[in-house]
Structure 1
Amino acid sequence: MACRVLPFAVVTALILALAGCSNYERPRRPAWRGQAENACIAQQLIRVSAYVQPAREIDGPSICGLTRPFKVSALLDGAVRFNMVSTLDCPMIATLNAWLTEVVQPAAQSRFGQPVVQVNSMGAYSCRSMNNQYGGRISEHAFGNAVDIGGFVLADGREILIVRDWTRGDDQVRAFLQDVHAGACGQFTTVLGPGSNIFHYNHIHLDLAMHGNTSTGPRRICRPQLRPSATPEPPRDNLPNPPDIDEDVDVAHAGSPGNEPVALHAGPGPAPTGRIPDSFFAAAARGPTAVRAYAPVVPPEPVRGSLREDGAFVPEGNPADWDLTSSIPRR
């Protein structure tokens, strides 16, 4: 009897196990990710080019992947290249373009007088957890919705590295990195730079994760909290700076001891010194000087005449009236 029951029990257990497998469903990516990709493409926020090429869908492992990924070798239509080809989604590419246009390039021109021509990426799409920590939450890198920036290259070839220049660069370099980090906080929803934690000592992490909404828009995480540094004034063509003059002070009185009026001088020769002569004010008080009248000038009457066949002009009337040679005594 036991021999008959045992095979039946084994078959039953096998059937139940197979039924359980058929009910297993692999985790799916949140719907908003695919919706964001499709909306970005529908709105034509990026343009397919030699630098931005569509790639095949990445589906897995697990929930990692992108519905419509792109292989990116450069941004801003090739004006700013990547040091490596990066796999990103459409919203991330569009936001990187906006960040470069509105923040990075103006800061580079202000600090160095030249643009950025390369962004050094330390990673884009990668199916991994946050900070590569075992058992951690899934990273935005796993959806092509993040990029790690390790530095920049200027037009003259100068390289700016975050790991070196964040704290040890000169004043202009550190101010530039502070500007691009602070400006990124208005473009991306997550910005993590050196000082945010031990994992971001050598790069700035940028992503478009959804952290919820606030009364003023999407919730943003920006660490460390930095303010854009003061932008230096552009050079004045090697001319001296103008004097500091209060707007409510008349130029004629500025810098004069005791607010005494001084004479303005714009002509050749030495400038007058001291007070304006009292005779000047006395003459002004007397009013305008009378203007001498002159008889009107009467224009001469036009000379009438005709043209000869040889083209010479012959005045009308007696030749003695117009031929000057007729008054010369003949010899």
Structure 2
Amino acid sequence: MTVKIVRYEHEGDAAWGVVHGRRIAPLPGRYASTADFIEQGLDEAWSSRPEQASLPLDGVVLLSPVTGGQQFVCQGINYASHVRESGMDPARIGFNTLFTKAPSSLTSARADIARPPHVRLLDYEVELGLVMRRPLKEAASIGPDQLHEWLAGVTIVNDISARDVQLPQTQFYKGKSYRGFGPTGPFLVLLSPDEWKRWPELRMQLSVNGRARQDAFCGDMIFRPHQTLTELSNLHDLGPGDLIATGTPAGCAARAPGKLVLWVMKHLLSEQAKWKLFIKKGLVNPAYLQPGDLIQATIATEDGAIDLGEQLNRVVAA
């Protein structure tokens, strides 16, 4: 049975707890980071009982369950549907696109998202977040049945993106790393070995102002968690509490233009003119986020046995 971990603020103090229904059982340990919680508090969390739940969930301020000192690694174009809407052929995606996002972009599942004054094409991306359980400091071959050995749990990530920075400047890090561009949580959901096998059944849904935008199952990933962990193990060290966002499905505001327009942009326009046209078309696209918009994101299995909770983030002008 899953264990829902929450990091919260109550009476001025940050603490960790286990969610039972709509109440929290505070954990006795004080953990400065997600790494500290995973290294020292997992046994406490797994042994938590409903009768220990003394705080109402609605009576606390939610914080991101992934703290700012952790690495924030991301996968791009990892769902065939998103590859197509980006104007590419999934059959030609022969490599796993990996990049990092600033840990300072992490924020809570209820925080406002401030759109910087110079950003006009603000986009959303609901993603399944994987949180590391143990250090990964050398090359390893990780099988699909070994996820529970390496991963502590899962969480919701919304990879907020400034497309008019990310794409014209070809800077994923810069376009996705503004403060507050990484709503995470509300929960870090710990899974048993058998529950880890159900990750493909998780359904990701995102709506804006009550209108559905994204809806897909995590099983549609191109590069799966065990493959990504194996590849990352050959690149750099990962530690407990580090976060991997595994990509987003179709439904983003940013879409590739038609084939004729793409041909014209590629063969007849300069780079400067091409991106000027991209921004001009984006400004009349109502799908991009505006101040006042409310984003709702959920991830859960259809039977509700694994439920990562709900994000509710409002866009505001910075």
Structure with more of its chain in helix, by fraction:
1
Bigger Cα Rg = 1
TM-based fold match above 0.5:
no
- Calculate the TM-score normalised by the size of structure 2: 0.22
Structure having greater relative contact order (Cα 8 Å, sep ≥ 6) = 2
- Calculate the TM-score normalised by the size of structure 1: 0.21
Structure with more of its chain in strand, by fraction:
2
